[in-house]
Structure formats: structure tokens, C-alpha cells
Amino acid sequence: MKKSLPLLSLLSLGLIFGGPVDSVNKQALAASHGKNVNWNLSTWGKRRAFTEGIEAVSKYVADKSGGHFTIKINYGGTLSKPRENLDGISLGAFEAATFCASYHADKNKAVTVLELPFLPITNGDVQKAADLAVYSHPATIKEMKKWNAKLLMSAALPQYEFMGRGKEPRTIADFKGMRVRALGGIGKAMKVIGAVPTTVTAPETYRAIETGTVDAAAFAFYSHFSYKINEVSTWRTTNLSPGSVNCPLVVNIDAYNSLSDKNKKILTDAVDAGYAALDKAYSASIDKYTPVAEKQGIKKITYSESDLNAFRKAAAQPVWDQWIKEANAVGLPAQELLDLVLKTAKEASK
């Protein structure tokens, strides 16, 4: 069996023949990682707080592999539309993508447990723990395999609030008849109180509000500004916190399996860097955009605790029960998944 030269010998050769040590290091690193791996990642919109996680993952894998494993982030839906990213992963059109579970709840029912309203998610760390617990559950893994997909991490989106124009919903009851962009469990919760939810995608929301097709939209605070919803809005809620949408980073299983063991480890280790970047970005966005909203004169609406308690009582358990019924119908261990979220959130909150 032919033995490869030890790294020290390679370094010596580099010095003898005038080659820079850095070049030899890169060659040695390339040999340890095998051939270069270049992935494409499909997402929508522009770079923003939501995408700082995937930006950090991309940077991490490139740095740790010496540039021999790269993930190119394709913004603006240039590779695929938001609702078609999971299909693209299934077909192998690209190696990685982001999607939001609510865009096609029938394809990823297990993940939608994380979109139920009024879950006890108190901060980003709790959200991360709950997300990863569900992602690693056998039922979720099995469901995602149907799309040749492996869940890597979530966008850990903060609790949503509404921003809109027209009549201000000064009480929860004022939402009755209002057309709202609200996905997943948030949409179901809003329907309970008489609102009319719609699943308009994020890039389509500005136009929907501008034309009056939709009166208000639910997003994480920073997202309203990323999609310029603030430019067509006159009011915003501050403490409704009805829930969040779950938007994972997913990779094609075949592409993942073809990675070397070292690159697989690099990709796995990159998740922590991704979550750290998201936490920093979301915190910074509050400081950045709060003064913008105040300068624009967007009115803040804060609900009484009694109003909020009534909303939670009316919308939480009934929507949870309906989700359990639907998830059981497609063969998922629904109660087990919900219990996992509640247990994990409780433990992480400590």
C-alpha cells in the first residue's frame, strides 16, 4: 500500500522548492476533504435577519474546509419559488433550501406542530430547543424522507405581531372581518376570533396590503421592515404574540450522504454558528427598526391582559385539538409530538 507523505514532509518540500507554506496547507486540507464540493442554496427575498443563520452556515463551512466545501446562497427566488423549494430539494435541483412549513402544511405536517398558537416559547433558545427536538423525532425524519430531505436547523423566528392599515384593532374583537396575512396556527387562531386569514407569501405581502387585498400581516417584527410593510401601514400590535412560523434549512439527503465524514461534521457544527448569528441579528433588528416605526408615526396597539387571556382561551386548545386530529389522520403520533414540544420548552425555559 502506498503511504502518503506526512504533513511535516509536505511542509518541508514546500519550503525547499519555494512554494508558500499556505499553499501546501491548502493542498493538504484539500486532500483530507476529497474533491471540492459546491452547493447551491435556494431562498427568497434579500439578505436580512432571517437569513443571517444560513449566511453564518455558509461562512462556517467555507472557513473550516479551507474553501473546499462551499454553499452559495441564491436570493430572490432565482432557483425556485418559496412554495416550491421543498420540491426542488426532492428533485435534486439544488442541494439546500429554506422553506416555511405553512407554505405546504400537507407536505410537512410533523413540522407544523411548531406553528401552533400560544406555545410556551419564551425566547430564541427555547425555540431552538423545541425545533431541534421535533426535527430529530423519527416521525419527522420519516416524513421528510418522502422529499429526500434532511432538516438541518430552523430560522428560530421570534413571536409574530401584526402590522396593517385602515381601522385599528384596539380590542381583539376588532379583528372580526379583517383580512390578515397569517400562516399556520396563527391563521387558525385568527379565524377563531372572526378574522379572515390568507397564506400570501412574504414577498407578495407588500402589494397585497398596498392594494387592499389584505388589511394586515403577521410577521416577526424585523420582517415588516424587510418586506417594507411599514411603508404601507399605519398601526402595529406590540403584545399579541400569537405564535410563529417555522422555516427550516433543509438539505438534499443524497447530497448530504455524498459528503465526506469531515464535511458532514463541519456542516453539523455550523448549526451552532447559524443560531448564534440569528440571535444576534434579531436582537439588533429591534434596536434598528423601533425608531423607524416611531418616526413614521405607526401607532402602537397594546392589549389588556384580560383581552389576551380570552384570546388564548378561545384559540389555543381548540386549534391544538384540531391539529392533533389532522395529524393523526395522516399517521403521525400527534399527541407525542405536541407533548415533546411542551416538555422541551418547559425544560429549556429553566
- pLDDT tens per residue, range 17-41: 333 334 334 444 444 456 899 999 9
Fold annotation for 160-244+285-349: D-Maltodextrin-Binding Protein; domain 2 (3.40.190)
- Running along the chain, 350 residues long, what does each successive block of 10 average in pLDDT? 37 36 41 77 96 98 98 97 97 98 95 96 94 98 98 96 96 96 94 94 95 96 95 97 95 98 98 97 94 96 94 92 97 98 95
What pLDDT is attached to residue 18? 38
- Which helix H or strand E contains 250, and what residues bound it? strand 248-252
Identical topology for domains 7-108+124-155+246-281 and 160-244+285-349: yes
What pLDDT is attached to residue 14? 38
What CATH number belongs to 7-108+124-155+246-281? 3.40.190.170
**Any idea which residue has 443560531 for its cell?**
275
What pLDDT is attached to residue 196? 97
What pLDDT is attached to residue 21? 35
Q: Are strands 37-42 and 69-74 parallel, antiparallel or unpaired?
A: parallel
Query: Can you give the pTM of this predicted structure?
Result: 0.84
- pLDDT tens per residue, range 243-286: 999 999 999 999 999 999 999 999 999 999 999 999 999 999 99
What pLDDT is attached to residue 28? 43
**Domain spans in the chain, listed from the N-terminal domain onward:** 7-108+124-155+246-281, 160-244+285-349
What pLDDT is attached to residue 3? 38
User: Distance (Å, rounded) from C-alpha 11 to C-alpha 5?
Assistant: 10
What pLDDT is attached to residue 49? 94
The sign of the dihedral angle between the CA atoms of 151, 264, 84, 76 is positive
What pLDDT is attached to residue 350? 85
Query: What is the secondary structure of 110-149 as a DSSP string?
Result: TGGGGG-TT----SHHHHHHHHHHHHTSHHHHHHHHTTTE
What pLDDT is attached to residue 35? 83
SS3 218: strand
